[in-house]
Amino acid sequence: MPLHRLHAVAGILAFVLIASFWLSTAISELFGTPTAIAAVKQAIVWAMLVLVPALAATGASGFRLGKGMRLPMVTAKKKRMPFIALNGLLVLLPSALFLNAKAAAGDFGTAFMTVQAIELAVGLINLTLMGFNIRDGFALSARRQRLATTR
């Protein structure tokens, strides 16, 4: 698989996973039982086994694809990536583990709700930033295709 395709597939997979985490969390919190909320939290932790490699593949392939490029869209993607990575590593991953432990213990108190609100807010920020990167990636891909057809 060409590197640009791997980058696109891994990035979209990561985006879809994070969006599904966000939506399943919101729906379970609004309409689910404590058992359903705990099941969602546990599923999210298990899905990290797919998400983390997808994010790593996206970052590594993006770094390699963008090396030496000075296009504004590439620069913008490079500037967003540290925020996405830091949000994930410092907020979203620890939050997922904390919320899973709390939900498994049936503890849905203030700490759970506070961390849940933070996780949803930061998750939405990451989805937005990743959405911008996907938009720019599609534009770069279209540019690459235009250049290939004019050669």
pLDDT attached to residue 151: 66
Phi and psi based region of residue 71 (left: phi greater than 0; alpha: psi -120 to 50; beta: remaining): beta
Separation of alpha carbons 126 and 132, rounded Å: 10
Query: What residues have CB less than 8 Å from 86, skipping those under 6 apart?
Result: none
Q: What is the pLDDT of residue 111?
A: 98
Q: Give me the domains of the chain, ranges plus CATH numbers.
A: 3-150 (1.20.120)
Going through 24-79 in order, the beta strands assigned E by DSSP cover none
Which pLDDT score is estimated for 142?
Answer: 81
Give per-10-residue mean pLDDT for the chain (151 aa): 93 97 97 97 97 94 91 93 94 98 98 98 97 94 77 66
Residue appearing with tokens 């770094």: 63
